[in-house]
């Protein structure tokens, strides 16, 4: 996906405040490194050298632990949140070689010491997303009981933020607006984007050198096991959202004996034939449906926004704005691509629907201030360029992508006939993978033997565009007898755990506090549509 969205989510994870925290429980000893059921033989997905390297790195991390202290100002995390680092090898086949430090944040469990259940690690997705803000969620009512039971642990995966940051181009030149986003691009425009994709792929290799090949979902899973050990945890408690569900599933496959509780929220389709080229095509098709949902909603509220009484009229209003921005960008910053990115965000969460509608309506009336404020501020962002670099490296390294431009051209032209909103913008973001020079891996085969895992919980919204619902059904099938799925019906917000749906939260909280899953797959009524404001 485009850099404004990726496979990541903040979804319902909106921060509104802090709560008091108490002192930390005593650290576990290094003898807690391995569970009694930890695998002793290398997984078929690991080489023997990599399997040994993970064990060695985890042993060292358990012995050293993490020294937590005040967070650096760059993290923007106030006390009592604490920060620290842990070390992982760049290449697990050579654990005595080059190491990098990954950053970690912690908020202590707030409840009675006797009721505490250890550390709960969170990843928000990406690839390229940072979970460092996770401890702040303890301040939200929906997370209160979980925050009483668990230390909330956030971290920045390899390459992200201050965790040995990866970069492919000068951030000042990345996604610099205003720019165009034609739904049916010309041959000349395509040639321009091919040249940009080639240059971007070269930039990644030039800046990262031989380390580039080691940004993978497999290594993200291995790093997670080292973090588990560094925290002194015998078994892992983990919430993965969006892309976090994919490398979380890789983790569960590689280290089933190290799993205590895992939540997979908004599930990436883990089928090897989907990783990653076909997943992106499926995603583009699904965003067309969410784009339709927004237009239909805006039309029902024509009396508020005056964008049209039918979804076709609302679409015409959007195209009118895009054409006007193509001729004269708003504030010198917002062109058609920035407008499209704003509405792509609305496809991720319906909490963004009203403000996007207000901005479009105001712009068409001659007031561009709201549109510039919402869509004009991402150009030249170090964080955006860093996130996109990690996203690109991981997805390009994880699997073989088509190298023949004619395949990309044929597939995306065909899809854009019925799903024009996001198809080509998505394709151009991923196009560096066609010209990638680092070695590619075979897609990982996620899956476990029947009941080989402790029970795990899957959450999914039926109309989620970023991770279409079929992905949750696929992961449910692959975790044979070990998983249960909670479905939010007729809803499309990406990231539903800890949000406004009390039914979803009931299952989510009960599982993390007790380990209990629904007896069978459960459904929850969708949340009400947003109000027009």
Helix (H, G, I), strand (E, B) or coil at 223: helix
Is residue 494 flagged as an active site residue? yes
d(CA 309, CA 296): 9
d(CA 479, CA 94): 31
Contact 461/469 with Cβ under 8 angstroms? yes
Can you read off the two tokens belonging to residue 354? Answer: 């009203």
d(CA 533, CA 531): 6
Exactly one of 151, 265, 293, 464 is catalytic; name it.
464
Q: Give the DSSP H or E segment for 260.
A: strand 259-267
Helix extents (H) in 262-327: 277-300, 302-305, 311-327
Exactly one of 242, 266, 271, 284 is catalytic; name it.
242
d(CA 494, CA 417): 25
Exactly one of 108, 214, 258, 494 is catalytic; name it.
494
Contact 213/95 with Cβ under 8 angstroms? no
Q: Give the DSSP H or E segment for 253.
A: helix 243-254
Helix extents (H) in 301-422: 302-305, 311-327, 336-348, 353-364, 369-375, 382-398, 405-416
Tokens 């004269």: give the residue: 328
- 302 alpha-carbon distance from chain centroid: 34
Is residue 242 flagged as an active site residue? yes
Active-site residue list: 242, 464, 494
């Amino acid at each position: 996906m485009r850099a404004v969205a990726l496979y990541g989510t903040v979804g319902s994870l909106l921060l509104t405040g802090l709560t008091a925290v108490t002192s930390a429980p005593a650290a576990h000893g290094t003898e807690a490194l391995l569970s009694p059921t930890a695998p002793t033989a290398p997984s078929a997905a690991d080489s023997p050298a990599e399997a040994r390297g993970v064990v060695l790195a985890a042993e060292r991390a358990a012995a050293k632990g993490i020294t937590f202290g005040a967070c650096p100002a760059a993290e923007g995390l106030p006390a009592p949140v604490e920060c620290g680092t842990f070390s992982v090898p760049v290449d697990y086949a050579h654990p005595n070689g080059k190491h990098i430090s990954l950053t970690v944040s912690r908020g202590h469990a707030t409840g009675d010491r006797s009721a505490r259940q250890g550390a709960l690690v969170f990843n928000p997705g990406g690839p390229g997303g940072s979970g460092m803000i996770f401890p702040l969620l303890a301040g939200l009512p929906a997370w209160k009981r979980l925050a009483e039971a668990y230390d909330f642990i956030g971290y920045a995966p390899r390459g992200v933020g201050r965790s040995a940051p990866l970069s492919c181009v000068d951030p000042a030149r990345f996604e610099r607006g205003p720019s165009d986003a034609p739904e049916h691009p010309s041959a000349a425009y395509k040639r321009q984007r091919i040249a940009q994709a080639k240059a971007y792929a070269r930039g990644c290799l030039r800046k990262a050198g031989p380390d580039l090949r080691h940004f993978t979902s497999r290594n993200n899973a291995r790093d997670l096991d080292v973090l588990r050990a560094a925290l002194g945890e015998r078994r892992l408690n983990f919430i993965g959202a969006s892309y976090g569900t994919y490398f979380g599933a890789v983790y569960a496959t590689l280290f089933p004996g190290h799993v205590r509780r895992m939540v997979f929220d908004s599930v990436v389709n883990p089928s090897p034939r989907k990783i990653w080229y076909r997943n992106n095509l499926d995603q583009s098709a699904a965003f067309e449906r969410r784009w339709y949902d927004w237009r239909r909603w805006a039309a029902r509220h024509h009396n508020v926004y005056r964008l049209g009484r039918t979804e076709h009229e609302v679409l015409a209003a959007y195209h009118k704005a895009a054409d006007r921005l193509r001729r004269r960008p708003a504030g010198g910053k917002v062109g058609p691509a920035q407008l499209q990115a704003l509405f792509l965000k609305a496809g991720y969460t319906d909490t963004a629907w009203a403000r996007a509608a207000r901005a479009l309506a105001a712009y068409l009336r001659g007031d561009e201030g709201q549109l510039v404020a919402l869509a004009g501020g991402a150009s030249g962002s170090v964080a955006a360029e860093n996130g996109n670099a990690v996203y690109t490296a991981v997805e390009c390294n994880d699997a073989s992508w088509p190298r023949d431009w004619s395949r990309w051209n044929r597939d995306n032209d065909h899809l854009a006939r019925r799903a024009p909103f996001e198809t080509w913008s998505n394709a151009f973001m991923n196009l560096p993978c066609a010209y990638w020079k680092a070695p590619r891996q075979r897609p990982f085969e996620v899956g476990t033997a029947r009941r080989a895992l402790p029970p795990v919980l899957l959450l999914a919204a039926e109309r989620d565009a970023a991770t279409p619902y079929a992905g949750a059904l696929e992961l449910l099938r692959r975790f044979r007898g070990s998983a249960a799925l909670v479905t939010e019906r007729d809803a499309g917000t990406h990231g539903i755990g800890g949000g406004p749906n009390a039914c979803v939260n009931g299952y989510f909280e009960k599982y993390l506090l007790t380990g209990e899953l629904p007896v069978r797959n459960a459904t929850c009524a969708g949340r009400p549509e947003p109000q027009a404001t």
